[in-house]
Amino acid sequence: MTTRRTGAASAAALLGLALTALGVDAGLGTDAREEVRGHEGDAAALDAQRVRGRRESEASGRVAARVIAGDVSLSAAVDELEPALRERPGFDCAWADDPPATFRHRVARYVMVRVAVELGHDPAHRAAALARLDAEYATLR
Number of CB atoms found within 10 A of residue 11's CB:
11
pTM for this prediction: 0.68
Read off the amino acid at residue 15.
Answer: L
Tens-place pLDDT, residues 69-80: 999 999 999 999
pLDDT category, 8, cuts 50, 70, 90? low
- Per-residue pLDDT, 30: 72
Where are the domains positioned within the chain? 60-139
